[in-house]
């Protein structure tokens, strides 16, 4: 992030953005995975909601931050846009270094917890596998052998596509809705957080949530790639093609989560019949 201050041409910008994406790619799926192994099934959705809400708040507040930094234009002989990368990059660097020493992969590795606290956090099913188990290619293949993962993956891609599309479109129409930027952003938190929490709570052990969170994040990024092209300035005022695409994505998302729900219901009934889980 900070290195973007040194950019002097388009090629340099592409290079720094590429490496920024490489190093940030695991942040969101990694966060989802950590939440899934630290909390039980009945706690995980609320934690995802809080996590997602802070992401939306950060997005909504970034404009205000940029507005403030814009007043620094010329300070130190630098343009205001360079100060955006410098200041935000310094904060990211500080938080990243601190997180390396504070954040633990699993509850049993947290030295800042007491023995009783570690024992309590290890009582839910996600802690059954050993922490040293490594993920191999066969684990990835096993995940994709299960059809329900495809349904939730495409549903997530559809939700992200229309979510990003409206996020890009919103600034030009937000005043007509009577809501603030923060309110608009927060309205998208509950369904998205619930979908992620629902999906990860149905993955077993430690390997499946690790692979599943990365898969879900990848499908979401795929939707983010297409989103900027949905609302074109050539169709402004009505944006009919864009709304048709978003409506289609809504249908795809609804179909995906419905099929996923039916498959999870069948799985639960089978486990109940076999006595593998309690009622």
What per-residue confidence (pLDDT) applies to 130? 45
- The encoded tokens of residue 101 equal 């020493």
Which residues, 6+ apart, have CB-to-CB distance to 239 below 8 Å?
Answer: 169, 231, 232
Cβ 39 vs Cβ 126: under 8 Å? no
| Residue 46 lies inside a defined structural domain of this protein | yes
With CA atoms as reference, report the closest residue to 89 among 105, 73, 65, 57: 65
What total number of domains does the chain contain?
1
| Residue 140 lies inside a defined structural domain of this protein | yes
With CA atoms as reference, report the closest residue to 34 among 88, 106, 99, 91: 106
| Residue 225 lies inside a defined structural domain of this protein | yes
HSE value, Cβ hemisphere, 13 Å, CA-based, for 195: 26
Instruction: Give the DSSP H/E element, type plus range, for residue 50.
Output: helix 41-69
User: Judging by beta carbons within 10 Å of its beta carbon (0-12, 13-18, 19+), is residue 18 exposed, middle or buried?
Assistant: exposed
| Residue 30 lies inside a defined structural domain of this protein | yes
- The encoded tokens of residue 139 equal 């684990």
| Residue 106 lies inside a defined structural domain of this protein | yes
What per-residue confidence (pLDDT) applies to 202? 64
| Residue 278 lies inside a defined structural domain of this protein | no
Which pTM was predicted?
0.56
| Residue 57 lies inside a defined structural domain of this protein | yes
pLDDT digits 0-9 by tens, 41-96: 667 767 877 777 677 667 666 666 766 777 788 888 888 888 888 888 888 888 88
pLDDT digits 0-9 by tens, 90-113: 888 888 888 888 888 777 778 888
| Residue 69 lies inside a defined structural domain of this protein | yes
Determine how many CB atoms are found less than 10 A away from the CB of residue 60: 16
What's the domain range around 163?
2-273
Torsion of CA 162, 223, 180, 73, to 10 degrees: -140
Name the stretches of the chain with pLDDT < 70: 41-42, 45, 53, 56-57, 59-64, 66-67, 123-135, 166-210, 213-214, 233, 235-237, 276-279
């Amino acid at each position: 992030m900070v290195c973007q201050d040194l950019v002097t041409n388009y090629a340099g910008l592409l290079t720094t953005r590429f490496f920024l994406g490489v190093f940030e790619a695991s942040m969101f799926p990694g966060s989802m995975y950590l939440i899934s192994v630290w909390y039980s099934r009945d706690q995980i959705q609320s934690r995802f909601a809080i996590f997602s809400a802070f992401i939306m708040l950060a997005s909504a507040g970034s404009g205000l931050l940029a507005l403030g930094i814009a007043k620094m234009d010329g300070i130190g002989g630098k343009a205001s846009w360079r100060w955006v990368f410098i200041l935000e990059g310094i904060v990211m660097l500080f938080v990243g270094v601190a997180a390396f020493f504070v954040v633990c992969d699993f509850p049993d590795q947290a030295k800042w917890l007491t023995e009783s606290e570690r024992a309590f956090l290890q009582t839910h099913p996600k802690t059954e596998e050993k922490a040293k188990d490594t993920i191999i290619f066969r684990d990835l293949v096993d995940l994709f052998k299960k059809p329900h993962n495809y349904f939730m993956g495409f549903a997530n891609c559809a939700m992200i596509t229309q979510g990003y599309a409206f996020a890009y479109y919103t600034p030009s129409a937000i005043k007509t809705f009577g809501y603030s930027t923060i309110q608009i952003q927060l309205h998208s938190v509950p369904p998205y957080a619930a979908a992620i929490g629902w999906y990860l709570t149905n993955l077993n052990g430690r390997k499946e949530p690790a692979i599943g969170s990365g898969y879900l994040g990848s499908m979401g990024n795929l939707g983010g790639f297409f989103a900027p092209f949905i609302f074109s300035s050539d169709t402004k005022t009505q944006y009919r093609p864009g709304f048709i695409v978003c409506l289609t994505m809504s249908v795809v998302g609804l179909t995906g989560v419905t099929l996923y729900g039916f498959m999870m219901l069948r799985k639960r009934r089978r486990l109940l019949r076999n006595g593998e889980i309690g009622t």
